[in-house]
């Protein structure tokens, strides 16, 4: 009989309570921190770990961590609600369905090409700007497309979030992962790019192969389209689709060039939803009602983001995150060179569960691991690779990653189904990452 994971909300609640219990078991400790001009962040100072007065988190404080997590993730949650509302408005105009129907008709006989094309597009976005939460905006479109092609919702997540995550983990340019890590390691930006591009090409090839293999085994009869989907576009629907495409163009420009955060993204999609409703003929009342339905549909995904953030709130409040890092890193000093490098990848994987922010993990671990790698005679570039592969790939499976949990919830995918799909290719990619690290040591990558 197939085992079932707990509901994601129950799973995250269990993680919160477990974190609170650990504050009674593990000693509280901290590293000293300094402001780093290169990254603009507070980073730890190597060799300064020290125990501090215990600050255990009791049951009531653990429960209070939930609203604190919701507040801390407020900007992301606002994005989830407003994007969900906006695309419900667009969907109720009929424009999305007709657009997808037209595309499916054009792809007749070549629908298998959707997987590599869409995967490479999202992988590029992941490699360039660590795309994750932004994918929530595209879930309704992806589901429409995959259902019309007979693909499962797992495939929709795989070709979007999965591909973006693999691209980010192996990227030579991702500013939130390799960029910060190389700055903290004192390495030139884009150094080692040739090797990383090669590693990324192989990793993406493996990911696309696995996704196509899964899709071939699980594909069902395509969802029937509406009779009018292949006809010429009504002017209103065509205008709504142009508005959606223009919104994404502005969105990409804002993120890449203007440094937009979640608040600007939310405002943009809110404006798109209002305009789409009016242009699409829903009227003011109909647009407001569609937004309300969209908010309701995204409520569960938004809650998961807040609960995931609450896990970190508990561990941080109990002052045991630095203790976990110090306890995992210290044994690496006594391992042979290659095993130490592979051990770093394992350590980064484990640390990423309580610290599900790749940039936050970099400023926490790299200042500790870089001096240690120097003492061991291990290349700093290899140290950065171990961080990328360990933390980046774990991002796609840890339940404390609120973006992951929100996206699979929005797509209607159970965590256990994603876990079942992802685990084999995760192990394959970890093994490939280990081989890449060993090869980098052998050729003296610097």
**Percentage of the chain modeled with pLDDT above 90:** 71
Compute the distance between CA of residue 144 and CA of residue 181 in angstroms, rounded to an integer.
38
Compute the distance between CA of residue 295 and CA of residue 77 in angstroms, rounded to an integer.
11
Instruction: Write the DSSP assignment of 70-95 as a string of letters.
Output: HHHTHHHHHHHHHHHHHHHHHHHTTH
pLDDT at 259: 81
Q: Examine the pLDDT at 229 and tell me if it is beyond 70.
A: no
pLDDT at 238: 87
Compute the distance between CA of residue 293 and CA of residue 18 in angstroms, rounded to an integer.
35
Taking residues 162-182, what's their average pLDDT? Answer: 94
The mean pLDDT of the chain is 91
Q: Which residue has the tokens 């003296």?
A: 444
pLDDT at 404: 95
> pLDDT tens across 181-208, in order?
999 999 998 899 999 999 999 999 999 9
> pLDDT tens across 76-132, in order?
899 889 988 998 998 888 887 777 777 777 777 677 888 998 999 899 989 988 888
Contacts of 243 (CB under 8 A, 6+ apart): 272, 275, 276, 279
Beta strand pairing call for 50-51 and 41-44: unpaired
For residue 230, is it left (φ>0), alpha (ψ between -120 and 50) or beta? alpha
Please check whether residue 22 is in contact with residue 311, taking contact to mean a CB–CB distance below 8 angstroms: no
Compute the distance between CA of residue 332 and CA of residue 325 in angstroms, rounded to an integer.
12
Contacts of 76 (CB under 8 A, 6+ apart): 133, 262, 305, 402, 403
> pLDDT tens across 379-393, in order?
999 999 999 999 999
> pLDDT tens across 32-65, in order?
999 988 788 889 998 999 999 999 999 999 999 9
Helices (H), 150-280: 153-157, 163-169, 180-184, 193-218, 235-257, 262-279
Q: Where are the domains of the chain?
A: 8-42+59-443
């Amino acid at each position: 009989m197939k085992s079932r994971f707990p509901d994601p909300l129950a799973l995250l609640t269990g993680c919160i309570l477990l974190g609170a219990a650990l504050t009674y078991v593990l000693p509280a400790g901290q590293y000293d921190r300094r402001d780093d001009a290169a990254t603009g962040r507070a980073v730890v100072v190597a060799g300064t770990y020290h125990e501090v007065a215990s600050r255990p988190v009791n049951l009531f404080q653990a429960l209070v961590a939930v609203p604190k997590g919701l507040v801390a993730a407020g900007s992301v949650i606002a994005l989830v609600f407003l994007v969900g509302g906006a695309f419900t408005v667009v969907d109720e105009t009929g424009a999305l369905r007709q657009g997808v129907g037209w595309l499916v008709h054009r792809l007749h006989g070549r629908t298998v090409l959707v997987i590599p094309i869409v995967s490479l597009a999202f992988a590029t976005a992941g490699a360039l700007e660590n795309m994750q939460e932004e994918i929530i905006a595209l879930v309704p479109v992806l589901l429409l497309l995959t259902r019309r092609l007979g693909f499962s919702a797992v495939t929709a997540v795989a070709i979007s979030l999965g591909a973006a995550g693999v691209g980010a983990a192996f990227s030579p340019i991702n500013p939130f992962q390799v960029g910060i890590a190389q700055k903290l390691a004192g390495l030139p930006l884009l150094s080692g790019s040739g090797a990383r591009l090669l590693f990324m090409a192989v990793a993406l090839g493996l990911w696309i192969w696995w996704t196509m293999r899964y899709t071939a085994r699980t594909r069902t009869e395509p969802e029937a389209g509406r009779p009018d989907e292949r006809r010429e576009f009504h002017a209103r629907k065509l205008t709504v689709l142009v508005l959606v495409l223009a919104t994404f163009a502005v969105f990409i420009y804002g993120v890449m060039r203007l440094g937009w955060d979640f608040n600007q993204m939310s405002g943009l999609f809110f404006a798109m939803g209002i305009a789409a409703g009016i242009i699409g003929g829903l009227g003011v009342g109909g647009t407001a009602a569609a937004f309300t339905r969209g908010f309701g549909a995204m409520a569960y995904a938004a809650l998961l983001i807040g609960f995931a953030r609450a896990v970190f709130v508990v561990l941080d409040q109990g002052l045991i995150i630095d203790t976990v890092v110090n306890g995992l890193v210290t044994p690496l000093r006594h391992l042979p060179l290659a095993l130490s490098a592979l051990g770093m990848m394992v350590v980064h994987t484990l640390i990423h569960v309580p610290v599900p922010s790749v940039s936050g993990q970099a400023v926490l671990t790299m200042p500790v691991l870089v001096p240690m790698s120097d003492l061991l005679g291990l290349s700093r570039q290899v140290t950065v690779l171990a961080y990328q592969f360990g933390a980046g790939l774990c991002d796609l499976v840890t339940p404390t990653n609120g973006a992951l949990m929100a996206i699979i919830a929005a797509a209607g995918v159970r965590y256990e189904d994603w876990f079942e799909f992802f685990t084999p290719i995760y192990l394959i990619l970890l093994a490939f990452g280990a081989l890449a690290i060993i090869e980098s040591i052998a050729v003296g990558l610097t």
